[in-house]
Structure 1
Amino acid sequence: MAHIFKKDSITFEINKSTIPEFVWHSSPRLSELVQSKHLHFDIKRLDPGKYSYPYHFHRNAEEIFVILKGKGMLRTNDSFEELVAGDIVFFEIGPTGAHQLYNHTLEICEYLDIRTEAGIDVCEYPDSGKVNILPYKEIYETNSRVEYFKGEDKVKDKWPDDGGL
Structure 2
Amino acid sequence: MPTVFKNKDREFQDDPKMVSPFLIQTAIPRLSMSAGARNLLFDMRLLKPGQYSFPYHSHRNAEEMMMVVSGSMTARTPEGLEVLETGDIIFFEFGDSGAHQFFNHTSKPCTYLDVRTFLGLDVSDYPDTGKVNIIPQFELYDSKTRIRYFDGEEKVSEKWEGLRKKK
TM range (shorter): over 0.9
Query: Residue type matched to 2:121 in 1?
Result: I
Match of 2:13 in 1: 13
Aligned to 1:25: 25
Q: Which SS does the other structure have where 1:96 is aligned?
A: helix
CA distance in 1 between counterparts of 2:157 and 2:11 reads 58
The size of the alignment, in residue pairs, is 163
C-alpha distance in structure 2 between counterparts of 1:94 and 1:15, whole Å: 26
- Aligned counterpart, 2:81: 80
- Opposite residue 73 of structure 1, the aligned amino acid is T
Are residues 3 and 9 of structure 1, via their aligned partners in 2, closer, same or farther at CA, if it must alter by over 3 Å? same
1:157 is matched with which residue?
158
Q: Extract unaligned runs of 5+ from structure 2.
A: none
CA distance in structure 1 between the aligned counterparts of 2:4 and 2:70, rounded to whole angstroms:
19
Q: RMSD over aligned Cα, in angstroms?
A: 1.7
Give, in whole Å, the separation in 1 of the partners of 2:67 and 2:46: 12
Partner of 2:50: 49
Contact (CA 8 Å) 1:103, 1:109: kept in 2 or not? Answer: yes
- After superposing on structure 2, the runs of 4+ consecutive aligned residues of structure 1 that deviate more than 3 Å are 16-19
Q: 1:16 Cα shift?
A: 4.7
Q: Distance in 2 between matches of 1:8 and 1:149?
A: 56
Distance change >3 Å, CA 150–CA 126, structure 1 → 2 = same
- Report sequence identity in percent: 45
User: Does the Cα contact within 8 Å between 2:53 and 2:102 map onto a contact in 1?
Assistant: yes
TM-score (norm 1): 0.93
Alignment-mate amino acid for residue 63 of structure 1: E
Q: Given residue 129 of structure 2, which amino acid in structure 1 is its aligned partner?
A: S
Matched residue type, 1:9: D
Unpaired segments ≥5 residues, structure 1: none
Q: TM-score, normalised by structure 2?
A: 0.92
